[in-house]
Amino acid sequence: MVLTLVCACQFMVILDASIVNVALPSLDRELGYTDTGLAWVVNGYLLTFAGFMLLGGRAADLFGHRRLLVAGLLVFSAASLVAGLATGPGTLVAARVAQGVGAAMLAPATLVVINTCFTEPRARVRAFGAWSAAGGVGGMAGAVAGGALTTGLSWRWVFLINVPIGALLIVMAVMSLAATRARRREPLDIAGALTGTAGLGALIYGIMRSAEHAWTSAQVVWPVTAGLLLLGAFVAVEARFAARPMLPPRLFRLRGVAVGGGMLLLFGGIAIAMWYFTALFLQNVLGYSALQAGLGQAPAAVAFLLVARWSATLLPRTGGRPPVLAGGAFFLAGFGWLAQAQAGSGYVTGLLGPTLLIAVGIGLTFPTLMAAATEGVPEGDEGIVGGVANTANQLGGSLGLAVLATVAGARTGGNSSAEAIASGYSLVFLVAAGLGVAVGAAGLLLPRPGR
């Protein structure tokens, strides 16, 4: 029941990052958004999800993982209800922002549950494999689930479906998790919480704005600069001024936390290149609908699910290095093959084969990196380290999306023909192949088995 609970929570928060995409035209017709306002139905969720993750991780350590998990489910479900009943554009965006806060409470809390409830090494890595697979499939299922709900019922059910699911998960959490208390009574590091959360939020906001404005524009430069300055202040507060820092600098002396977090930052760009840009290729180059594109990615999702569960069983014997090195090789082969796809390529030869290879690489690396980034953490710090790992992955995805979209746009030069768009995506896939090689090489820095 515990494993089902954490997997369902992870599936739900990742699903809600993508399920709304297919419903955007329908809710736009009913609520009447501007072009930029419509984007914030998606970005409002992603911004608060990534920005509040560190705070959510520390809250799990201070207040107990069951308490935070239940609170996160309540916030997420209530915000979903408001979103589903929204009658105006502002109400829906505000509800999506609140959903992101709930998700930022849930994601690190699920990692604390795994670390505290699955103490035997083999069971722990298997739980990480299932958790990783649930998140990956949640990201993939968004297009299919969103298309089915919007077509069969209404765009409102994209949000309302979370309400009964959330209620069921709250009951499961109360039944299956022990009522934990904080291991040590500490005040929350207010200065660290404010500077860290505001810094991450401003940085991610600036990166998101780069999709609409040039990197040198004030709309991008100012929030990115403010975010970097606030994060610099956060580092100073944690290192010198906070009596009980929210993110103790000593944690980065653990090789797994430092190396795993850095690799998850790179991995975020790889995942975006795989799931986001292949979906665009299927729609913008091959002419698939959003629902067809989601179904076209389903074989890769199944491959990822199977490999993630299998690779987790190998970790106690092999350690993290072999899976990550093998994953880098699969990334190089898959993205190198995918970069050859053109407007006239068929689905089977142009997309299916390479995406299956990349999915195998993701299945080998993602659970390995999450396990490495949270292994050997002192008792009472599991939540904040889980927040760091999730934040690194989300930040890598946001930065990767902005950079890779810029790369594709520079190659196409404004040409909207299928051939030009395919050429832009080919360059994206070559950059992703380089990121995959970097992740594989960085795997040599992971600890050897038994250390």
Q: Which of the four pLDDT bands, split at 50, 70 and 90, describes residue 74?
A: very high
> d(Cα 98, Cα 108) in Å, to the nearest integer?
17
Do 119 and 225 belong together in one domain?
Answer: no
Give the domain CATH number at 304. 1.20.1250.20
Last residue of a domain, one of 245, 277, 293: 245
> d(Cα 35, Cα 293) in Å, to the nearest integer?
23
> Is the dihedral angle over the CA atoms 151, 7, 107, 211 positive or is it negative?
negative
Find the mean pLDDT for residues 222-246: 82
If you average pLDDT over every residue of the chain, what do you get?
80
Count of structural domains within the chain: 3
Q: What is the pLDDT of residue 36?
A: 59
> d(Cα 130, Cα 324) in Å, to the nearest integer?
18
> d(Cα 388, Cα 60) in Å, to the nearest integer?
13
Last residue of a domain, one of 136, 153, 183: 183
Domain boundaries, position 333:
251-451
Do 210 and 292 belong together in one domain?
Answer: no
Do 353 and 427 belong together in one domain?
Answer: yes
> Who's near 164: CB < 8 A, 6+ residues apart?
none
Do 216 and 258 belong together in one domain?
Answer: no
Tell whether the model's pLDDT for residue 78 goes beyond 90: yes
Do 80 and 194 belong together in one domain?
Answer: no
Residue length, the chain?
451
Q: What is the pLDDT of residue 451?
A: 46
DSSP annotation of 66: H
> Who's near 60: CB < 8 A, 6+ residues apart?
68, 69, 105, 108, 109, 112, 382, 383, 384, 386, 387
> d(Cα 147, Cα 22) in Å, to the nearest integer?
6
Do 426 and 282 belong together in one domain?
Answer: yes
Do 326 and 447 belong together in one domain?
Answer: yes
Do 393 and 300 belong together in one domain?
Answer: yes
Do 213 and 129 belong together in one domain?
Answer: no
Locus of tokens 């979370």: 162
How far are the Cα atoms of 337, 338, 345, 418 from residue 349, in angstroms, in the given order?
10, 9, 7, 18
Do 3 and 113 belong together in one domain?
Answer: yes
pLDDT digits (tens, 9 = 90+) for 362-383: 888 888 887 777 776 666 667 6
Q: Is 212 helix (H, G, I), strand (E, B) or coil?
A: coil
Q: What is the pLDDT of residue 447?
A: 66
Last residue of a domain, one of 129, 156, 183: 183
For the chain, give the percent of residues with pLDDT over 90.
6
CA 105 to chain CA centroid, nearest Å = 14
Do 237 and 358 belong together in one domain?
Answer: no
Phi/psi of residue 346, nearest 5 degrees: -80, 165
Nearest to 75 by CA among 42, 37, 45: 45
Do 445 and 318 belong together in one domain?
Answer: yes
* Residue 220: half-sphere exposure toward Cβ, Cα within 13 Å: 14
